[in-house]
Amino acid sequence: MKGVMLQGTASHVGKSILTTAICRMLTRKGFQISPFKAQNMSSHSVVLETGREIAISQYEQAEASGRKAEPWMNPILLKPLKKMRTEVFLAGESQGVITGASFKDLYYQRALLAIKKGLTQAENSSDFVIIEGAGSPVEMNLKERDLANMAVARLAEVPVLLIADIERGGVFASIAGTLALLTEKERSRVKGIIINKFSGNPSLFTNGVEWLENYTNLPVLGVIPYIQHQLDEEDSLHETESSFQPNLTSKEADYERLADHLEANINVEKLMKILGGAS
C-alpha cells in the first residue's frame, strides 16, 4: 500500500503529534488519508457513536484527516487499569479484563487478524495510509511477537521514518543504536529520519544533520522545533481508571498550526517521494 510508518527511538518522542500533522498536511493537499495504529496502550480513549472505543490519538488523527473515526484505525486498544489489570479492545469492542502480561498468549492470533483487516480497510479507503508505531521497534524482549512496529510495517509493505526526540538528549546514540539493533531487512525499510522537539534555531543543528546523514546513509527529512498544542496526550498511566475525560471540542486551529509548522520544517518533496514508494 502507499503510505509510511512513523516509528520512534523511544516512547514520547512525538510520534502521535507528527502523525496528526502529516495527516492534516496531506489532507490539505487534496489526498484522502487513513490514520492507523495497530496496537495502542493508553488510558485515553473515545467512545464512538457506534459504542466502540479507540485511543484518543487515532480519533484526533481522523479528525485532522477530515473524516469520521473508525474502529479499524486502532484495531487493538489496551487500557491499563489498577492492580496490573488491562481491559482489551479488539476493533473497538471490549474483550474483557486480563491480568499481568497474558495478552499475547490469549489474543495474539485474533489481534493479528484484526490488524490485517484494519490495514485492508485503511488501504481501501484512502490514497495514503499514515501508520503510527508504539514505543521503540527494538525492544528485544518483545520483538518475537511484535504487533506494533516492524511487523506492521512488513504487513502493510510501507517504508518507515525514524523519529527521535532531541529534547531528552542522546539523539545520536538513540538513532544509531536503534538502527544497529534492527535486522538487515528491517533496516532497509527505514527511509528517513526526523529530529523532533528541537529548541532554538534548527540551522544551529546543521553539522548534526550532516553527521547523521553521513553515518546512517539516510536523509534527515526535518528538524522540527518544539511546538505547544492543545491535543490530548495519548498516555497517562498515573491517572485513575475513570479520571480521563476526552476533550472533543473542535481542535481545527491546532491541526492547522501543526500542519503549518511541519510543512515549514520538513522536506515535503522527499516525504512525498517516500510516500509514493521511492527509495
The string over 140-153, giving b where at least 16 C-beta atoms fall within 10 Å of a residue's C-beta and e elsewhere, is eeebeebbbbbbbb
What does the pLDDT read at residue 234? 66
DSSP string, 15-50: HHHHHHHHHHHHHHTT--EEEE-SEEE-S-EEE-TT
DSSP state of 60: H
pLDDT digits (tens, 9 = 90+) for 114-123: 999 999 999 9
Phi first, then psi: what are they for 5, rounded to 5°?
Answer: -120, 130
Write out the three cell numbers for 197: 522537539
**C-alpha to C-alpha distance for 245 and 128, rounded to whole angstroms:** 31
Give the count of beta carbons closer than 10 Å to the beta carbon of residue 252.
12
**C-alpha to C-alpha distance for 258 and 97, rounded to whole angstroms:** 36
What does the pLDDT read at residue 233? 64
**Residues 171 and 211: beta-carbon distance below 8 Å:** no
Write out the three cell numbers for 141: 524482549
pLDDT digits (tens, 9 = 90+) for 117-155: 999 999 999 999 999 999 999 999 988 889 999 999 999
CA distances from 46 to 22, 54, 61, 70, 241 (A): 21, 6, 13, 11, 14
Give the count of beta carbons closer than 10 Å to the beta carbon of residue 228.
6
**C-alpha to C-alpha distance for 174 and 10, rounded to whole angstroms:** 8
Give the count of beta carbons closer than 10 Å to the beta carbon of residue 184.
6
Write out the three cell numbers for 245: 475525560
Phi first, then psi: what are they for 270, rounded to 5°?
Answer: -65, -40
pLDDT digits (tens, 9 = 90+) for 53-99: 999 999 999 999 999 999 999 999 999 999 889 999 999 999 999 98
- On the question of pLDDT at 236 being above 50, the answer is no
DSSP state of 12: T
Give the count of beta carbons closer than 10 Å to the beta carbon of residue 215.
12
Q: Is the pTM of this model over 0.85?
A: yes
- On the question of pLDDT at 217 being above 70, the answer is yes
Write out the three cell numbers for 241: 481508571
- On the question of pLDDT at 270 being above 90, the answer is yes
In which band, very low, low, confident or very high, does the pLDDT at 277 lie, cut at 50, 70 and 90? confident
**C-alpha to C-alpha distance for 51 and 53, rounded to whole angstroms:** 7
Average pLDDT taken over every residue of the chain: 93
